[in-house]
Amino acid sequence: MENKPIARALRLLSQLMELHEVNPFKIRSIANAAFKVDKLPFPVAGKSFEELEKVDGVGKSIAAKIIELLDTGTMVELQELLAATPEGVVEMMGIKGIGPKKVAIIWHDLGIENTGELYYACNENRLIEAKGFGLKTQEEIRKAIEFRMASNGKFLYAQIEKEANDLLDQLKNLFPGALFEFGGEFRRLCEIISELVIVLGSRDQTIAFDSLLKSEILNNITANGNHISGEMPNGLLVDIVCVEKRDFYKELFLQTGNDEHVAAVINRMADVIDQPESEELIYTKAGLEFMKPELREDDTFIARARDNALPKLISYNDLKGTLHNHSTWSDGVNTIEEMALYCRDTLKLEYLGMCDHSKSAFYAKGLSIERVLQQHEEIDHLNKKLDGFKIFKGIESDILNDGSLDYPDEILKKFDFIVASVHSNLKMDEEKATARLIKAIENPYTTILGHPTGRLLLSRKGYPIDYKKVIDACAANKVVIEINANPFRLDLDWRWHQYALDKGVILSINPDAHRNEGFLDMHYGVIVARKGGLYKEKCLNALSLQEIQQYFNNKKG
Ligand SMILES: [Zn+2]
Ligand SMILES: [Zn+2]
């Protein structure tokens, strides 16, 4: 019906008015008119003002708006309200289950300005603290956003890790005795997955192919050559490549590395091996040390593999402690003591670095100077109690617009270490954002640069920075760079780890935990760190308690 765009514009106008708390009577009449116009049995286009004002639910002032819309394609009032509303906030009003009133609270009280941040906040349990929100609403919003994200076909590694492994197990049950392995992005431990590739090597390729095609293991199954494609219930595309067992390792090699990598390896081979018995053999034949799947991006690590100088990649068990975490003192869910006991007894770690938000982060209950001092008393007390396990006094200090940190020096010097992060004014251009970070990096109290770009994967790009300048500044000022392990962040991006390591910069795998389960995100931090080629000697939180204590002392001294 031609009236749809008119109704939509009126509805948006009423929503924006509600968001900005314009006269409630007017809001109701415009919303009502939008509804009526949508249902009219005739188009409003071509009707005169006099005809329109007689329509039930329209009246003089709305008739004028409709005429304005038809004449100019918009309404001045709508444009003014749009200009006063961040684009992301308008977008949030389109999410199922939250109307303008809730969006207003999300925007003003929680400081959230787009869908990505909102999703992140749901996962951090931040919504339940806002007026009129409960656990149930938070969960509904989270689901609605996930549904939207899935519709563009891309998933975070963490979102599909379990489903992918379950699918592989199912396949193994279906074809006992066959060879199976993931290929593609998932096997390379990419942070974003757009397709799940599985290589299947069986004694009889045709039988396996046919029974897969008939199975209900995937939705919308189709066949193409020796590929079976389909979808998982969450919408992730799956591609199963069926080959004879003897061709398995060659196919696996071909399906794992990205195109540039596969080509680079093949180029080094005098003659191609037809049916290798392992992937190792392929690399040997190419004169290379075996390359773990996560390193098979482009030709980045090829020269090192040739020189037998690949790094011994970091593993989860190398981590001895965890830095950058939030407790109930700011926006976390668990107390410091609960977090410490979890780290000591469940995760078997040696130390915990607390980094609650600093005072500018008002939406996250950032700590005033007074509360910092109180928290330090609590930590001193707990450290006496915890017998060998150590809680370090840290803070996640906001980097202010001009690059300065959030407390005076007398307070900054009281911390064992400081993570400096940007949380506000994310829309700077590259030059300004880079200068802002560098100023913070040059601050003698900065120990770690937190989530360097502020990105939220699949939902917020993060501010543009000159990576080389920022990393060089960290090298010059002996500032550690965080690999934020939250699966939405994974920031510093793994593509820059080598540059940082080459410059002598140390990295730190920080979970940014806001509750005990959040510590487990270090798993995802380790995954991207491996992709970046990190090894334990260059990872801050792989230091033992004694070593890191020394490290902090040196930095401060
Ligand atoms: Zn942060
Ligand atoms: Zn944080």
Task: Determine the distance separating the centroid of ligand 2 and the alpha carbon of 113, expressed in angstroms.
Answer: 18
Element (H, E) at 373: helix 369-386
Closest CA to 394 of 430, 420, 418: 418
Query: What distances in angstroms separate CA 235 from CA 185, 198, 266, one per listed residue?
Result: 16, 16, 34
d(CA 406, ligand 1 centre) in Å: 13
Which residues are near ligand 1, the ion (C-beta closer than 5 Å)?
421
Nearest-ligand number for the alpha carbon of 124:
2
Q: Which of 168-182, 212-226, 380-394 has the lowest mean pLDDT?
A: 212-226
Q: Which residues pair with 223 in a beta bridge?
A: 228
Instruction: Using alpha carbons, list the distances in angstroms from residue 463 to 76, 380, 396, 432.
Output: 32, 37, 19, 10
Give the per-residue pLDDT at 418. Answer: 98
78-82, 212-216, 444-448: the lowest-pLDDT one? 212-216
- pLDDT score of 7 more than 60: yes
User: In whole angstroms, how large is the CA radius of gyration of the chain?
Assistant: 28
pLDDT tens digit sequence for 496-551: 999 999 999 999 999 999 999 999 999 999 999 999 999 999 999 999 999 999 99
Q: How many CB atoms lie within 10 A of CB 84?
A: 11
CA 503 remoteness from chain centre: 26
Ligand 1 center to residue 361 CA distance, Å?
10
Whole-angstrom distance, CA of residue 218 vs CA of residue 174:
13
Q: Is 92 exposed, middle or buried (0-12, 13-18, 19+ CB in 10 A)?
A: buried
Instruction: Return the ligand number nearest the Cα of 454.
Output: 1
Asked whether the beta carbons of 121 and 110 are under 8 A apart, the reply is yes
Cα 481 from Cα 499, distance rounded (Å)? 12
Distance of CA 422 from the midpoint of ligand 1 (Å): 7
Q: Tens of pLDDT along 372-385?
A: 999 999 999 999 99
State the Cα angle at 511 between 106 and 107, rounded to 5°. Answer: 10
Q: Which residues pair with 357 in a beta bridge?
A: 396
Q: What are phi and psi of 76, to 5 degrees?
A: -55, -45
Q: How far is CA 494 from CA 99, 528, 532, in A?
A: 38, 6, 4
State in Å: Cα 450 to ligand 2 middle: 8
pLDDT-derived band at 10 (thresholds 50, 70, 90) equals: very high
Average pLDDT over residues 127-144: 86
Spacing, Cα 502 to ligand 1 middle (Å): 26
Q: How far is the CA of 516 from the centre of ligand 2 (A)?
A: 14
* The residue type at 347: L
pLDDT in tens, 516-525: 999 999 999 9
Q: What spacing in Å lies between the alpha carbon of 546 and ligand 2's midpoint?
A: 24
The Cα 512–Cα 522 span in angstroms is: 9
What is residue 1's predicted lDDT score, i.e. its pLDDT? 47
Strand partners, 515: none
Residue with tokens 């940007």: 422
Contact yes or no for 452/485 (Cβ under 8 A): no
* Amino acid 485: pLDDT: 98
Handedness of CA 157, 449, 312, 541 (dihedral sign): negative
Q: Copy the structure tokens of residue 44.
A: 């409003």
Q: How far apart are CA 343 and CA 210, in angstroms?
A: 49
Ligand 2 geometric centre to CA of 357 (Å): 7
Cα(500)–Cα(505) distance, integer angstroms = 5
Ligand nearest to the CA of 331: 2
Centre of ligand 1 to C-alpha 295, Å, is: 28
Average pLDDT of every residue of the chain? 93
Give, in degrees to the nearest 5, the angle at Cα 82 between 81 and 84.
65
Helix (H) or strand (E) holding 195: strand 195-202
Q: What percentage of the chain carries pLDDT values higher than 70? A: 100
Q: How far is the CA of 514 from the centre of ligand 2 (A)?
A: 8
Cα of 83 from ligand 2 centre, angstroms: 31
Q: Is the pLDDT of residue 264 over 80?
A: yes
The pairs formed by 162-169 with CB atoms below 8 angstroms and a separation of 24 or more are 163/232, 163/234, 163/236, 164/196, 167/196, 167/198, 167/217, 167/232, 167/238, 168/198
Give residue 151's pLDDT band: very low, low, confident or very high (50, 70, 90): low
**Distance between CA atoms of 522 and 520, rounded to whole angstroms?**
5
Q: What is the mean pLDDT of residues 331-359?
A: 96
Distance 382 CA to ligand 1 centre (A): 25
Which bound ligand lies closest to the C-alpha atom of 395?
Answer: 2
Contacts with 344 (C-beta within 8 Å, 6 or more apart), sequence order? 352, 386, 389
Distance from Cα 144 to the centre of ligand 2, integer Å: 25
pLDDT band at 23 (very low <50, low <70, confident <90, very high): confident
What are 44-64's pLDDT values in tens digits?
Answer: 888 889 999 988 888 898 999
Task: Tell me the CA–centroid distance for residue 493 and ligand 2, in Å.
Answer: 17
Cα(78)–Cα(94) distance, rounded to whole angstroms? Answer: 16
